[in-house]
Amino acid sequence: MPIGYLVPVLLVACCTSASLSPARRPPRLGRVAFRMSVLVNEQPFTLLVALGAVTAWALADGDLGSTGGRVALALAALTAVGLVLVARRGLLAAPALDHALADGLRAGPGTVTNRGLPWARILLAPFAVRRRDVERLGDVPYGADTGGRVGGVAGGTAGARGREHRLDVYRPRSRPADGPTLVYFHGGGYVSGRKELEARAMLSRLASRGWVCVSANYGLRPTTNFPGHLVDAKRVLAWVREHGAAYGADPHRVVVAGSSAGAHLASLAALTPGDPQFQPGFEDADTSVVGAVCLYGYFGEYYGSGRDQGVESAPSAYLRPAAPPFLVVHGDQDTLVPVEGARQFVADLRGVSTSPVVYAELPGAQHGFDLFHSVRFDAVVTAVEEFAERVVAARGRTPEVPVERREER
């Protein structure tokens, strides 16, 4: 039995199976399915190459002549077919996003498809999420204890100190003035996560198109509870209003975005502009946004202990006709945050808001599809760019794209 060949084949086979048909119940199995499938689901091409490489190695070593070797080879062949199916589902993201944009924004046919995907990055450098034409200013402090005038203490937040109250700024190296701004909040269930992990490919790409992107940490449990997380998010938005121009941002054209728990936070921030209960000490700060982007978001009640029970924590509690435009993107095979929650939130929002609500449900997508370049996520980034450009255009200028970037599009 060629153990050295069978083990990697079996590992890829199990992960591919978890990607194609993930277990949803009980929740513990759903978490296992997510961890097993997160790489395969977004990088089937890489796994296909790896599978071919170990098979060629085993063939060269003469390990496939035995009965065990032939069984392992048959398993590898079945796994390769499964990876092709995973890849095909990834290709369905662009049509799904095209349909959503056409339905929600009356965008032209093939909006995402016609812009094309960065295939060289997807196939050859999927983990290279930084761009040479973008500079990142890391660990910029925000809040009352960092020299700014934006402050306040709430929900267990002990002031703006330490790593939790830092943000990164992504901007074009050419440093044009008055670029529209996207503020992003990471996921992690309010207990983990950091600003340098998710959606970096999106932040870098938008920055290369003339945007100023801000990715912020915020207080996590157990040191912070709700509404402290939201207060921190508001501090970030207020910081952008006060200091964004110094970094090349137009502080009056801000889109807020987030993934998972960060989408919960982004949606709450978008729906509660200027609400004094979430802006203690900076009640007069303008925290309004022109749009919101929610990726595989959680939209239910805050589930942590220690929250202020007298304050509503579900985004649906703050729906209003004047809500800004929303783009909600969710995978139909998300085992950590089931898609039904996103569907219900979108239905509730559409029933109240007079602004566009764009909803895209991605075939075969799991949680955490924004960690690196992939067919699916780069299609999502294109849709986010289209959505964001349209909502900021309603406020005036659109981002000035360098000549070479216009040709690329």
Q: In the chain, how many domains are there?
A: 2
- Of residues 63 and 122, the one with the higher pLDDT is 122
Domain end (from 37, 69, 91): 91
**pLDDT (tens digit, 9 = 90+) per residue, 40-52?**
999 999 999 999 9
Q: How confident is the model at residue 407, as a pLDDT? A: 38
Q: How far apart are CA 314 and CA 300, in angstroms?
A: 5
133 and 87 part of one domain: no
Which residues have a catalytic role annotated? 260, 334, 367
Q: SS3 of 183, please?
A: strand
Question: H helices within 21-105, ranges in order?
Answer: 27-42, 44-60, 67-91, 93-105
CATH classification at residue 183: 3.40.50.1820
Beta bridge partners of 387: none
Q: Are residues 270 and 365 in the same domain?
A: yes
Exposure class string for 331-353: b at 16+ Cβ within 10 A, else e: bbbbbbbbbebbbebbebbeeeb
Q: Is residue 343 domain-shared with residue 273, that is, in the same domain? A: yes
Classify the C-alpha dihedral 375-365-35-13 as positive or negative.
negative
Q: Tell me: do 81 and 97 sit in the same domain.
A: no
Tell me the CA distances in angstroms from 123 to 23, 43, 58, 79, 99, one per residue in order. Answer: 28, 9, 24, 19, 26
Residues 98 and 84 reside in one and the same domain: no
* Domain endpoint, select from 91, 126, 141: 91
Is the domain of 245 the same as that of 198? yes
Single residue among 91, 107, 135 that ends a domain in this structure: 91
Q: For the segment 85-138, what is each residue's pLDDT rounded down to a tens digit?
A: 999 999 999 999 999 999 999 888 888 988 888 999 999 999 999 999 999 999
DSSP β-ladder status, 134-141 and 166-172: antiparallel
pLDDT band at residue 1 using 50, 70 and 90 as cut-offs: low
Question: Does residue 45 or residue 1 have the better pLDDT?
Answer: 45
Residues 210 and 197 in one domain: yes
- Token pair listed for 143: 């809040």
Q: Give the pLDDT score at 394.
A: 82
**Res. 400 pLDDT band, cuts 50 70 90:** low
Do 306 and 327 lie in one domain? The reply is yes
The three-class DSSP label of residue 256 is strand
Whether the model clears a pTM of 0.85, i.e. scores above it, the answer is yes
**Residue 234 in contact with residue 198, Cβ under 8 Å?**
no
pLDDT exceeds 80 at position 364: yes
170-179 pLDDT tens trace: 999 999 889 9
Q: Tell whether the torsion through CA atoms of 377, 379, 383 and 385 is positive or negative.
A: positive
Tokens of 169: 């700024």
Give residue 259's pLDDT: 98
Task: Tell whether 182 and 34 lie within a shared domain.
Answer: no
- On the question of pLDDT at 320 being above 70, the answer is yes
For the chain, percent of residues with pLDDT exceeding 90:
80
Q: Is the pLDDT of residue 403 over 60?
A: no
Neighbours of 275 (CB within 10 A): 16
| Cβ neighbours of residue 255 closer than 8 Å, sequence gap 6 or more | 180, 181, 182, 183, 289, 290, 291, 292, 293, 388, 391, 392
Domain that includes residue 106, residue range? 93-408
Residue 83 and residue 97 share a domain: no
Q: In b/e form, how buried is each residue of 367-397, taking b as 16+ CB within 10 angstroms?
A: bbbbbbbbbbbbbbbbbbbbbbbbbbeeeee
Mean pLDDT of 369-382: 96
Residue 36 sits in the same domain as residue 132: no
Dig out the tokens for 210 from the structure. Answer: 């003339």
Least confident of 5-14, 72-81, 156-165, 271-280: 156-165
Higher pLDDT, 151 or 207: 207
Share of the chain above pLDDT 70, in %: 92
Same structural domain, 227 and 323: yes
